[in-house]
Amino acid sequence: MKRIVFLLICITISLRFSFAQEDGKVTFNEKKHDFGLISEKEGSVNFDFVLTNNSNEPLLINNVKASCGCTTPSWTRMPIEPKKSGTITVSYNPKGQRSSFLKSVMVYTNFSTTPFMLQISGEVTNAPIPPKPEEIYPVALGNYLLKSKELDFGKLDISNTKTIRLEVFNNSDKPVTQKITPPKFLTIDYSPVIEPKTESVIGITFLAKEYEKYGYAKGDLVFYIDGKKQIFPYSALILDDFDKWDPSKKNNAGKLNTNTTEINFGNFTAGTSRTLKLSNSGNSVLNIKNIQSSSPWVVPSKTVFVINKGEITEIKVNVDKNKITSPLVSTLSIVSDDPRNPLFEVKITANP
């Protein structure tokens, strides 16, 4: 019995040293890769073993042999220069396999008469595989995964609120802390700690009445994830809710007209100010709730005012030419209580 044990030990030692050892000249990112659970139906899986030449002479991969036909290697054929890396891609085909597997791949190089041994392992199943967290939550901030980082509230009635559910996942093995500092018109409902491998939902509510302005609302919501600052842009469009108006009020509402849909400043030979005419051809007073520019260098002379029935009002549109270094394309958004066209946009162009 002792002789048998001794022989087994000798065989194990012999097998271990019959393969090339990492002596510093060649290192691998991994020598054993576990695919985990894979599906027979989804076909082949691949992994790249990356080897680095740490020597002072070129490394050549002479051959790579797999232990069975279900495992197929491909590799860098050109010499790998000193301090550079090459790749051995190992593909495993699970067709007809429905159990655990362990396959070996022998790598022969000009550095040794004995090969390096790589291994792949895993388990094949015919059942559907649950999606990985990274597939469900495609936006990654380290181990803090999100389904979406876009906080777009869409159209909002000035008197209403709207809530976005931001779904996040802690993909680490440790708790993640989160802290959010919202402006007064946003309320946040969230857990300050997300446990490992756990989903959490952040409720973000936009209070349009607290924002107190019509038109486009844009800004940044600040998150601190494990103490690190992250920026989440938010946007909304605030208008009147015309669905609440009765048909008579809609039919007799003010109606916005403009003398143009585009203002072209050219190269400023005619100055840096243009006149935009607004008129009301409706049956009631027209309230201009806001006029916004998408560029900080384009400024209207007034933004909130009233146009009486049959009246024409002029505003000046000014451009700061000293701030324009490339062709300008901007939009002037006019928000009114004209139910037919509550958001009217005028294109602004200029050349430096």
Verify that 44 and 76 share a domain, yes or no: yes
pLDDT tens, 42-81? 889 999 999 999 999 999 999 999 988 899 999 999 999 9
pLDDT of residue 7: 43
- Please report whether residue 104 resides in a domain: yes
Of 202, 195, 196, 199, nearest to 223 (Cα)?
202
pLDDT tens, 96-106? 887 899 999 99
Verify that 227 and 322 share a domain, yes or no: no
Quote the CA–CA distance of 346 and 330 in Å, as a whole number: 9
Quick one: average pLDDT of 299-327? 94
Query: H or E segment at 238?
Result: strand 228-239
Domain extent, residue 314, equals 246-350
How far is residue 171 from each of residues 75, 236, 333, measured CA to CA in Å?
A: 33, 30, 42
pTM above 0.75, yes or no: no
Verify that 235 and 254 share a domain, yes or no: no
- Please report whether residue 102 resides in a domain: yes
Verify that 346 and 252 share a domain, yes or no: yes
- Please report whether residue 58 resides in a domain: yes
Verify that 204 and 258 share a domain, yes or no: no
Verify that 250 and 345 share a domain, yes or no: yes
- Taking a C-beta distance cutoff of 8 angstroms, is the pair 289, 212 a contact? no
pLDDT of residue 23: 60
Among 125, 148, 183, give the residue marking a domain's end.
125
Quote the CA–CA distance of 18 and 115 in Å, as a whole number: 8
Domain count, the chain: 3
Verify that 160 and 186 share a domain, yes or no: yes
* CB crowding 101-134: b at 16 or more within 10 Å, else e: bebebbbbbebeeebbbbbbebebbeeeeeeebe
pLDDT at 13 over 80: no
- Please report whether residue 1 resides in a domain: no
How far is residue 77 from each of residues 28, 265, 315, measured CA to CA in Å?
A: 17, 60, 70
CATH number for the domain spanning 75: value is: 2.60.40.10
Quote the CA–CA distance of 120 and 127 in Å, as a whole number: 21
pLDDT of residue 11: 42
Verify that 185 and 148 share a domain, yes or no: yes
Verify that 300 and 264 share a domain, yes or no: yes
Among 239, 255, 286, give the residue marking a domain's end.
239
- Please report whether residue 48 resides in a domain: yes
Percent of the chain at pLDDT exceeding 70: 93
Verify that 256 and 235 share a domain, yes or no: no
What is the pLDDT confidence band of residue 24, given thresholds at 50, 70 and 90?
confident
pLDDT tens, 110-133? 998 899 999 999 999 887 777 889
CB atoms within 10 A of CB 159: 11
- Please report whether residue 9 resides in a domain: no
pLDDT of residue 18: 43
pLDDT tens, 201-250? 999 999 999 998 999 999 999 999 999 999 999 999 999 999 999 999 99
Verify that 298 and 201 share a domain, yes or no: no
- Please report whether residue 8 resides in a domain: no
- Please report whether residue 15 resides in a domain: no
Among 77, 104, 125, give the residue marking a domain's end.
125
What is the pLDDT confidence band of residue 137, given thresholds at 50, 70 and 90?
very high
Mean pLDDT comparison of 15-19, 98-102, 184-188, highest-scoring range: 184-188
How far is residue 284 from each of residues 183, 287, 335, measured CA to CA in Å?
A: 36, 10, 16
Verify that 116 and 214 share a domain, yes or no: no
Q: Which residues are CB-neighbours of 301 under 8 A, at least 6 positions away?
A: 315, 316, 317, 318
